[in-house]
Structure 1
Amino acid sequence: MTALVGLVALALATPAAARETVEAAAPSSLAVTLYRDPARGVDDAMNRQRPRGFAMITETRQVVLPPGESTIRFTGVAEGMVAVSAIVTGLPGGTIEKNRNADLLSPAALVDGTLGNRVTVTRTNPATGEAVAEDAVVRTRADGGIVLETSQGFEAVRCSGLPEKLTFERVPAGLSAQPVFSVDTRDPTGGTYDVQLTYLAWGFDWQANYVATLAEGGRGDRVNMRLMSWVTLLNDNGQSFENAELLVVAGKLNVVSDFQSLAAPPDARPLSLTCFPIGSTAAGTPIPAPPPPPMPPPMPMMSAAIVVTGSRVARASYEANTPVVVMGEEALGDLKLYRAPERVTVAAKGLKQIAFLDMLRVEARLLYLAGCTPYDDDDEAVPTGMMLATVNDKRHGLGAAMPMGGIAVFEPSSSGEQLVGEESLRDYAVGQDVEIRFGDSSQVFAQCVRSADFDIGQHPTRWNAMHTVLTNANPHAVTVRIGFGYSGSWQLRGLRGTRIKDGEVIYEVTVPANGRRELRWESRQSGATG
């Protein structure tokens, strides 16, 4: 019994082995996968000030572990890191505990970390320029003012009326100029290991931007165009990811976590002093310099309606153009994964564009759009809309998934290529019809006329006599697509060849060059009898 008590006493007297802190090396390999803001709609642009997309970041780093327990510090992770998502692989002893450092190196954190320790205060005589330095001890925290203990007693910083600065001997333990993520681990023997740190991070986004350039030499409503697309990447974090393998994911991703609140970026607290500045006590505390102005926004999309004329200008064929290197497409379940062909740098607080698609010859139809229901009774002719229609397949020159984004349409002229319209595209899968509306025509007009003189609401079962007049001022024939409303809302008779597309009853008619067409039919509300 006496021996047992002695062993217990010896165990209590032996201090526990200190856990050694190990700094992981800088990443030797980086992979960044960007996910766009899941709540952003088709017509919404990226929020450059507060992007709400996210990224999955994988870092490969080397660590040298001592025998026993140690704490590994990963310095330079994204400030928008979602710490609860972090996974560390490659450690022989696994992970005991994970931590996200809350404080960054800042003036206030530097003062707080030096509380009770010595600093050097240097004051300069403005009359002679002589600088005098002396030791001092920090006696207060940096939450309103700094009090130092010097050989002259207690003094408040910047209350002497002289220019002064503080010099710190070292950076307090636990502070870093970059965000830090740390894990505790255990290795009985110690050694050198390559480990992978994978985590989600907030403050990213991406979108596709398309440019369609019409070619010369179309026949009738048949046109060819070159379709290029760029992926625009946005990184709002203060960290750059250099020479990274880049991937972007397109499609609707179901996200229920609030990454913004989970990220909780580390705090770089400013130093706020309450004493008077040099010169006069009446002047108050100097106002800090304003922050630098934000980056200028991209050139705005043209909002005015721009029209396309019927003119054609000769130009070299698209087959002569050299295709650019673009991103490769892979399947990721029902989503699409696009991989950059080479490593890139995702810069801090920056935008970057990478070539995404380059389709040299896309076959499409140029259609003019008009609508005519009993409620569309026009007093005069109105411009028709214009639309490029194609199919996302190899036969038409596409055959690749097209993520949502903005598209600008250009047409050649005697003065070079000119912008003729812009539109927003939704996600298009392979095999789907792609329709690009890009403005109104100044050459093709439509007038919808209801000849009946009764109230539709009071007589829903009666047929409405309808007709439309289409005019074309172009020197070539055009195709007009007329929409008669949704099939569940209206019935038609007297017009052969109608069909249903996307739930709407439509009819396509050719209007001759410098000519007109007139159509007549009858329409009434669906479900009506009599």
Structure 2
Amino acid sequence: MSALRASILLALAVISAPLAARDVVDASEPTGLAVTIYRDPYSGFDRDNPGGFAMISETRSVTLPAGESTIRFEGVAEGMIAVSAIVSGLPGGTIEKNRNAALLSPAALVDGTLGNRVTITRTNPATGQEESEQAIVRTRADGGIVLQTSQGYEAVRCSGLPEKLIFDTIPDGLSAQPVFSIDTRDETGGTYEVTLTYLSWGFDWQAHYITTLLQGDRRGRQYAKMLSWLTLVNDNAQSFDNAELLVVAGTLNVESDFEELAEPPRGESLRLRCWPRGNTAAGSPSYPYPPAPAPPPAMMADSIVVTGTRMQKAAFESASPVAVMAGEENLGDLKLFRVPEPITVQAKGLKQVAFLDKDRVRGELIYEAACDLYGRVYQDDQFGPAQLIFQTENDERHGLGVSLPQGGVTVFEPSRAGDLLIGEDEIRDYPIGQEVEINLAESTRVFQQCARTGEIEQSEKDRADWRQLRAAVTNSGSQSAQVRLEIGRSSDIEVRRTRGLKLRNGAHVIETSVGAGEEREFLIWVRDI
């Protein structure tokens, strides 16, 4: 009989073993952090609603008991995409992973204490004395709080008296920071160093270039100083202290909707519904708003002062020499910029890191004009301004030789009154070896004209109509100007009988020099393809 009882007990123990509660173990605070930020591939930089993401790697230590246990990683990013999380360094791997949705909040505190005791404290308005008693929470927090006291049942903060609830403990499973947990198994137990890697929504970055034009030389070469900053934004409520910071430039193919997958946990507030005045039928009385204050008296005409602010270059530059400079690395077809020193990525904050500081970039000033059948065509003798461009090569010979991520450009020019803003532009990604163009401003000395002459010739070979355009470029300045006249895309039109014609970046162009006080005229024959 005793042998049969022992067999039954052993079988029950085997069956119930998987149902035994797992030990809950908290991982340590991160001892190592790496944050790699990817910019929004579909839209521009938005500080208030960043559309990029980051890959975050956290190194932590954990002490596991023998058998199965649950590891809690507290303080992960609230924009964490749980399905992307990978934990390495565990001997038993991962059985299951979970994202804890409940944050410590007034509503969660009440819901977690449902059926348990709390202390309610009231202040007597006549004496100022506080009176406390024990009560049991009988309802959830989504419509009001009902307590059971020695006097019966009552709603919190519906008596008109100052009241507060005191909770002795925090319910299990609640944390002030987002928590990610996994279930694992270790046959012997021990202390391990693990790495948690995951994607998180709510990050972004952009590049911005400060370009100052310098004095050119007699050969017509123009020089410029270029300084660029990476601006990073972290919209999460968590900071990443002393992290290895990296940013990735280039177009990344993203198919998933990371914003929808993130689902950050939320702390719910209390919504107490009661009527301390009036009654439940009439509700609380509604009082009109007080009238708006009268406007101040108008100023006398002779006391009006108009002030203005000139945009200063100093507002864009660092107040001290650049101490930390991000270095460039290859990442497949993308570019990786690594900050050489640990950086703290603040919660709900911006961070700027320099990645380009070139004192003398060599290029030239180009005046760009256009004349085509369907584009910039002027009537009669009307002239329009040409576009002034700073053009250079992205190589070491011209003073660059680094990848230039997409971003804004602010251009200054020295003057007797200091460096003055002359233009702003947006550039695309420029890898090493490509020609770089920065739009400066509309020219005040080089103008263009484009008109149809009305001349039409028909090709004997294919009966296609050739149309004649007349382009004119004038230079009212005291120095010669390098002009590039764009006629149209080579995929759209064909051009013939035009001197100086060449192909450039898929377009038919004429490049020429127009002397000081000179006007050049071009007759161009074109037809549609």
- Work out whether residues 408 and 419 of structure 1, in 8 Å CA contact, stay in contact via their aligned partners in 2: yes
Deviates more, 1:258-267 or 1:197-206: 258-267
Q: Deviations over 1:381-418 (max 9, x none)?
A: 11111111111111111111111111111111111111
Q: Does 1:505 align with 2:508?
A: yes
Deviation at 1:373, TM superposition (A): 2.2
Secondary structure of residue in 2 paired with 1:403 = coil
Partner residue, 2:112: 113
Q: Does 1:266 align with 2:265?
A: yes
Trace 1:20-169 onto structure 2 (pairs within 5 A): 20-40=23-43, 45-169=44-168
Greater Cα shift, 461-470 or 473-482: 461-470
Q: Matches of 2:431 and 2:117 in 1, distance apart?
A: 66
Matched to 1:487, the amino acid is: S
Please point out which of 463, 469, 485 is paired with 1:466: 469
Cα distance change of structure 1 residues 377 and 38 upon mapping to structure 2, 3 Å threshold: closer
Q: Deviations over 1:398-439 (max 9, x none)?
A: 111111111111111111111111111111111111111232
- What CA distance in whole angstroms lies between the structure 2 residues aligned with 1:426 and 1:491? 28
AA at the equivalent of 2:411: V
Aligned to 1:387: 389
> What is the distance in 1 between the residues matched to 2:364 and 2:27?
58
CA–CA separation in structure 2 for the residues paired with 1:352 and 1:392: 27
Contact 2:457 2:466 in 1 (8 A): no
Q: Which residue identity does 1:124 align to in structure 2?
A: T
Q: Check the 8 A contact 2:247/2:338 in 1, yes or no.
A: yes
Corresponding residue to 2:433 among 431, 436, 447: 431
2:481 matched to 1:482? no
Q: Tell me the SS of whatever aligns to 2:511.
A: strand
Asked if the contact 1:111–1:142 (Cα under 8 Å) also holds between the matched residues in 2, the reply is yes
Separation in 2 of the partners of 1:223 and 1:279? 79
User: Cα deviation per residue 1:114-140 (whole Å; 9 max; x = unaligned)?
Assistant: 001111111112232111111110000
Give the residue type in structure 1 aligned to 2:40.
Answer: D
Larger CA deviation: 368-377 vs 427-436: 368-377
User: For residue 404 of structure 1, what is the aligned residue in structure 2?
Assistant: 406
Partner of 2:527: 525
Q: Give the conservation status (yes or no) of the 8 Å contact 1:242–1:346.
A: yes
C-alpha separation in 1, matches of 2:432 and 2:277: 69
2:451–2:469 CA contact under 8 A, matched in 1: yes
For residue 109 of structure 1, give the secondary structure of its aligned residue in structure 2: helix
Distance 1:33 1:60 in 2: 15
| Aligned counterparts of 1:207 and 1:83: Cα–Cα separation in 2 | 26
| Alignment gaps of 5+ in structure 2 | 288-319
Secondary structure of 1:451's aligned partner: strand
For the pair 1:492 / 2:478, whether they are aligned, the reply is no
Say what the alpha-carbon RMSD is for the aligned residues. Answer: 2.6
Amino acid at match of 1:8: I
Q: Name the counterpart of 2:420.
A: 418
Q: Which residue of 2 aligns with 1:289?
A: none
Other-structure match for 1:8: 8
Identical-pair percentage: 57
CA distance in 2 between partners of 1:266 and 1:420 (Å): 47
For 1:333 and 1:407, the matched residues in 2 are separated by: 27
Compared CA separation, residues 350 and 402, structure 1 to 2 (3 A): same
Output one character per residue of 1:481-530: Cα deviation in whole Å (capped at 9) or x when no partner: 111112243343443221111211111221222x1222232313145xxx
Confirm or deny that 1:345 pairs with 2:347: no
Number of matched residues? 487
User: 2:402 is matched by which residue type in structure 1?
Assistant: A
What is the one-letter code of the residue matched to 1:414?
A: R
SS where residue 414 of structure 2 aligns?
strand
Q: Please give the alpha-carbon distance, in whole angstroms, between the structure 2 residues aligned to 1:517 and 1:347.
A: 58
Q: Secondary structure at the match of 1:416?
A: coil
Query: Per-residue deviation at 1:222?
Result: 1.7
Whole-Å separation in 2 of the counterparts to 1:147 and 1:425 = 61
Q: AA paired with 1:195?
A: V
CA contact (8 A) 1:82 1:201 kept: yes
Deviations 1:441-473 (A, max 9, x none): 1221111233226799xx994544433332223
Separation in 1, partners of 2:13, 2:478: 101
* Contact 1:323/1:360 (<8 A) preserved: no
| Structure-1 separation of matches of 2:399 and 2:279 | 74
Amino acid at match of 1:476: Q
- In structure 2, relative to structure 1, the CA distance for the partners of 1:267 and 1:323 (3 Å cut) is closer
State how far apart, in whole Å, the 2-side matches of 1:405 and 1:30 are.
27
2:433 and 2:277 mapped to 1: Cα distance?
72
Task: Check whether the contact 2:322–2:354 (CA below 8 A) recurs between aligned residues.
Answer: no
Q: Secondary structure at the match of 2:9?
A: helix
Matched, 1:197 2:200: no
Q: 1:524 to 1:285 in 2, by over 3 A?
A: same
Tell me if the contact between 1:24 and 1:73 (Cα under 8 Å) persists in the aligned partners.
yes
Question: Distance between the aligned counterparts of 1:239 and 1:334, measured in 2?
Answer: 31
**Amino acid of the structure 2 residue aligned with 1:387:** I
**Aligned partners of 1:391 and 1:434 also within 8 Å:** yes
Pairwise mapping of residues 178-257 of structure 1 onto structure 2 (< 5 A)?
178-219=177-218, 221-257=220-256
Q: Return closer, same or farther for 1:348/1:463 CA change in 2, 3 Å cut-off.
A: same
Work out whether residues 277 and 285 of structure 1, in 8 Å CA contact, stay in contact via their aligned partners in 2. no
Contact 1:123 1:164 in 2 (8 A): yes
Q: Aligned letter for 2:243?
A: A
Query: 1:386 corresponds to which letter in structure 2?
Result: L
Tell me the amino acid that sits aligned with residue 448 of structure 1. Answer: C
Secondary structure of residue in 1 paired with 2:260? helix
Distance 2:13 2:434 in 1: 76
- The CA distance in 1 between the partners of 2:228 and 2:471, in whole Å, is 39
Shift of 1:340: 0.5
Matched-pair contact (CA < 8 Å) for 2:456–2:468:
no
How far apart in 1 are the matches of 2:491 and 2:181?
A: 61
Any idea what the Cα deviations from partners look like across 1:338-378, whole Å, max 9, x if unmatched? Answer: 10121111111111111011122111111111111245441
Give 1:285 shift: 11
Give the TM-score taking structure 2 as reference length.
0.87
| Superposed displacement of residue 333, structure 1 | 1.1
Q: CA deviation at 1:209?
A: 0.9
CA distance in 1, matches of 2:222, 2:239: 43
Q: Distance in 1 between matches of 2:151 and 2:455?
A: 101
Q: Against the structure 1 CA distance between its residues 383 and 187, is the aligned structure 2 distance closer, same or farther, given a 3 Å change threshold? A: same
